[in-house]
Chains A and B, each alone.
Chain A
Amino acid sequence: MSTQTLETIATEQHAASDGTLKMSARDVNVFYGAKQAINKVSIDVTQENVTAFIGPSGCGKSTFLRTLNRMNDTVASARVEGVIKLDGEDIYASGMDVVQLRARVGMVFQKPNPFPKSIYENIAYGPRIHGLAANRAEMDQIVEKSLKRAGLWEEVKDRLTESGTALSGGQQQRLCIARAIAVDPEVILMDEPCSALDPIATAKIEELIHELRGRYAIVIVTHNMQQAARVSQRTAFFHLGTLVEYGDTSEIFTNPREVRTKDYITGRYG
């Protein structure tokens, strides 16, 4: 697959549909103390398309992703300006409950981070704290459904009581995706979900992203341009804290409007 050019990968993808608007950001600035990490970024995330954020290291793509479910709140020096809306609701408004927001906008992290508990408990934790299951049978159902959607059920159904940390790296990451799915989110944010995985595990995750597309709005940060071309329908290119270009993946990789985008995807820097 690496022999294919980015252009062919990107054009072979399903064409981006217009999609229904799920999240929108307008003029977002993020500061860490006095340092500005994100400068006036405006972007729309649609329900039907996988949106990829690409860009060189330190360009702010992960920072911006973390503003979408307010994970930056845990950083004391971080400050966010601008408007980010989920289904038309401002998520930084004072009435927004951040705990509920993070249930609606789930997250998968760069390094697989299962809880040091059993596989079952890893999935059941989210639904339990939100009270999504009335009894044990319902919880069993949620666990099974989530693991099935994450393509992990067949591999772990006989050892649900084993520790989640005993799984291989790729399985751990799919467990984390299943954990995010279990609370029935609307949006799933993925922060370089394959950067710690081998090519086979990466391929499985990418396949999984394809299957989840449409059911959840997915935003994925990646530094692997081939991955962006393979899994996404819309691509945003970040550079030095600004959004340089945002468009259909096939457009970005075949016919970028900006010189910086072109230089980046042809490997001139990054």
Chain B
Amino acid sequence: MTGAAEMTAALPEQRATTDWSGATMQRRIAKRYAAEKRFRLLGLSAILLSAAFLAFLLVSMLIKGVPGFTQTEVSLPIDFASSSLMIDTAALKKGGADADAALAGADIESATAAAADAAFGADGARLLSDGAWLKVRDAIKDNPDILKSKSNVWVPAAVEIDLAAKGQGTAEADQKLAKLKARDAIKTGLNIGFLTGSDATDPTLVGIWGALKGSLLTMAITLLLAFPIGVLSAVYLEEYAARNRWTDLIEVSINNLAAVPSIIFGLLGLAVFLNFMHLPRSAPIVGGLTLALMTMPVIVIAGRNAIKSVPPSIRDAALGVGASRVQVVFHHVLPLALPGILTGTIIGMARALGETAPLLMIGMRAFISSAPTGFTDPATVLPVQVFLWSDEVSKGFIEKTNAAIIVLLVFLLAMNGLAIYLRNKFETRW
């Protein structure tokens, strides 16, 4: 008894029983619920805010960009028989180089302008795009027989008329548009030329195909280089390299490389690939090499993490039945790490696809009016094309810039969709 009394005395204070239903406790509980509610609301508003930003971006892009995929055309009556055109019909019918030579010799541009003036009055030629005569030329090439008669050719309208037809015109342009409408000589339709053409000086004539193909070729080079080199580096560092000062140094360097501003890679590409190796300027191969340097560290880091997360017990199991290290890696570790590696590759490739700065350094901002046919042809890429068009003076380029952004985003979504599909396909259910 005395011992117990001493024990009690030794304690500073007897601990009171917790009063779970008391007022203080109720207040505490109410406070905790309030804190939880506050946090939930904060989180929800953060999500809503970012969703609103995203929606605003997409909606404004679509509103501004979708008209870029359409083009207003004017029906131009040309009396070929009485025009000043001197074209060798026989050479035209032969086709090929002969036809091109015959057409090159004729001044179709003046004939088109004259026809427009005759049809729509003194300033008639200004209703048409600068490239309207190209359509006339194509029409002649398709059907040389029209040269004998008078016929109507649909040619692209001038920028002001095009914008007016899409509801963005000036008062003056609206008047001109009304006149054309009265004659039933105008229509707005899908702009096939935008999807098949390349850069041009006139917004009614530009196309995105050149830049899209440039992006495709550049991405192909990037993927072909960065993926195997990145994955092999990751495998070597994780499965083979001894842990020592050198591998630590390499690891730190790779992590730093992933954080280097992209413009630095552009300067590196300029110095090494153009000035030292003398590869062609503005070519997808140089762009691809430069972007591969930038993407590789991202793939290495993601690959190492994915390989690290493969349970060691799987390695033990394979080694235990007598698999060699290469067999362990290729039969077990890589297949299990593949989903993670692919995720890293998507992130790296998406970043490379959207990259502008390093490509400016290696000359991919040049004005290229035809789509590249190979890896060494001069080319531009989608984000650079967006950058170039956004810099143009003509109002017609606004919708083209937005349309190009839509194409870029669709490309990006398609690429990510493919990668997510592949990842799900290879994902192992445990």
Contacts and interface: CB of A to CB of B under 8 A. Distances in A.
Interface stretch (A45-53, A103-111, A134-142, A153-161): A103-111
Contact of B320 (A76, A102, A116): A102
Contact of A103 (B316, B322, B428): B322
B323 interface: yes
B314 A115 contact: yes
A228 to B, nearest CB: 22
B319 interface: yes
Contacts of B321: 102-103, 106, 125-126, 129, 179-180, 182-183
Contacts of B243: 76
Contacts of B187: none
Nearest to A165: B430
A163 B318 contact: no
B113 interface: no
B317 interface: yes
A94 B321 CA distance: 21
B324 interface: yes
Interface string A169-199: 0000000100110110000000000000000
A180 B320 contact: yes
A80 to B, nearest CB: 16
A132 to B, nearest CB: 11
A33 to B, nearest CB: 12
A106 B321 CA distance: 6
B322 A111 contact: no
Nearest to A116: B428
Interface size class of B (residues with CB under 8 A): 20 to 34
B313 interface: yes
A113 B313 contact: yes
Contacts of A108: 320
B327 interface: yes
Interface in A74-94: 74, 76
Contacts of A69: 320
B176 interface: no
Contact of A130 (B316, B322, B429): B322
A15 interface: no
B320 A106 contact: yes
Contacts of B336: 116
Interface in B310-348: 311, 313-324, 327, 331-332, 336
B242 interface: yes
A32 to B, nearest CB: 14
Contacts of A163: 429
Contacts of B317: 109, 113-115, 176, 179
B336 to A, nearest CB: 7
B322 A113 contact: no
26 contacts: A71-B320, A76-B243, A99-B322, A99-B323, A102-B319, A102-B321, A103-B321, A106-B320, A107-B316, A109-B320, A113-B313, A113-B314, A113-B316, A115-B314, A115-B317, A115-B318, A116-B314, A116-B430, A126-B323, A179-B317, A179-B321, A180-B320, A180-B321, A182-B321, A183-B321, A183-B322
Interface of A: 69, 71, 74, 76, 99-103, 106-109, 111, 113-116, 125-126, 129-130, 163, 165, 176, 179-180, 182-183
Interface of B: 242-243, 311, 313-324, 327, 331-332, 336, 428-430
